[in-house]
Amino acid sequence: MPSAANARWRSSTSGSSRLPSRSWPGRARDRLPSRSALSRFLAALTEAPVEALRTLFLDDLLGRPLTPDKQTGSLLDRAGNSWIVFDIDGTREAARQRALPQTDELPPPFRRLDDVCAPGYRGRKRGEVVRTRTTVAQAHSYQWLGSFGNPGNGRYREELRKVLSAIGQYLMAHQLSQPHTLLRLDGQYGTGAVLTDVAGFAFVTRGKEYSVLDHPLVQARLHLPPDQFQQRPESQMVRSLYDCPQIPVGPDGVRCRVVVATHPATKKKSPVGVTRGGVVYELFFTNLREPGIHRRRCRRTVSASRGL
């Protein structure tokens, strides 16, 4: 049976106005632009205002410390060296396209994604309409420093130069040292041509210059026992690691340390690496020295499975 207090509560709230949405405080939803109007507005934007807005976001980020003491976090390798780690990730995604109806009663068909996508290659079949996005984040604080997108396979080297500029501004704002900065790059950047662009930083990247496997020094090293075995807790697969220092990579012969990870091939094709003679080979390029690369400890939560 309802109480008198409940009755008073109903009478006091029955005539109240609807509370505004938490997502848009102080502004009614009916005053927001429609999705089609917002889409037309975004389509009319040129690159200049987008770059200006990206600059404002970065300036706002650099002006807001995480804590009063401006703690940024760091990563300790097994030699005791401290590193500031930045994640640079290039994502290439195919656009979903369905067949368009074409009849005499309908206007000529067109796709909205034609302006932002272009034919590209994702590793499975050529001719797909794709878009590439490059992101950069501080690994310890998860601060988002920037996002850069282009149609098709993208202009990843141009995007990488913008990423390095944003990282330089971050280091300057927090008075951090570039020699103690580590870049952890996606496999899209694992070529010798790209390694010249990041020569001023310490880096670790997954490689895709599989011609390195044919180098005599690498072949000689693969015929010897591995330096280390690696097994993740969530998997039964055991990888053998081979350390190959001072190997020339790419047409310019950029010398870096090459770590080759091998494991037996299965019936399912491996999504990364190259398969030769029933063995899957994965490549990692770095300019870090041997004492501090294999295992790392971190002051803040950083996924251990993402490091070498």
In a domain, 308, yes or no: no
| Residue 91, CA atoms < 13 Å, CB-side half-sphere | 10
Q: What is the structure's pLDDT at 26? A: 52
Same domain, 197 and 285: yes
Query: Which amino acid, one-letter code, is at 262?
Result: T
Q: Which domain holds residue 167?
A: 35-98+109-174
In a domain, 279, yes or no: yes
Instruction: Tell me the DSSP string of 143-208.
Output: -EEEEEEEETT--HHHHHHHHHHHHHHHHHHTT--GGGEEEEE-GGG-SHHHHTTTTTSEEEEEE-
Q: What is the DSSP letter of 4?
A: H
In a domain, 236, yes or no: yes
In a domain, 53, yes or no: yes
Q: What is the DSSP letter of 7?
A: H
Q: What is the structure's pLDDT at 9? A: 43
Same domain, 242 and 268: yes
Same domain, 147 and 77: yes
Same domain, 251 and 286: yes
Same domain, 137 and 215: no
User: 89 — phi, psi (to 5°)?
Assistant: -125, 125
In a domain, 259, yes or no: yes
Same domain, 196 and 291: yes
pTM: 0.73
Closest-CA residue to 179 (of 64, 21, 28, 288):
288
Same domain, 73 and 116: yes
In a domain, 125, yes or no: yes
Same domain, 145 and 212: no
Q: What is the structure's pLDDT at 234? A: 78
Q: What is the DSSP letter of 272?
A: S
Same domain, 122 and 67: yes
Q: How far apart are CA 79 and CA 86, in angstroms?
A: 20
CB atoms within 10 A of CB 130: 19
Q: What is the structure's pLDDT at 294? A: 46
Same domain, 151 and 255: no
DSSP, collapsed to helix, strand or coil, labels residue 300 as coil
In a domain, 80, yes or no: yes
List CB contacts of 233: < 8 A, sequence separation 6 or more.
none
In a domain, 3, yes or no: no
Q: How far apart are CA 59 and CA 184, in angstroms?
A: 23
pLDDT tens per residue, the chain (308 residues)? 455 544 444 444 444 444 445 555 555 667 778 888 887 887 788 888 888 888 888 888 888 776 666 567 778 777 788 889 999 988 777 777 777 788 888 888 777 777 777 777 666 665 578 888 888 999 888 888 988 888 877 788 888 889 999 999 999 988 888 888 999 988 678 888 888 888 789 999 998 889 999 999 999 999 999 998 888 777 788 889 999 998 998 888 888 899 999 999 888 888 888 999 899 999 999 988 765 554 333 333 333 334 44
List CB contacts of 279: < 8 A, sequence separation 6 or more.
262, 263, 264, 265
Same domain, 64 and 167: yes
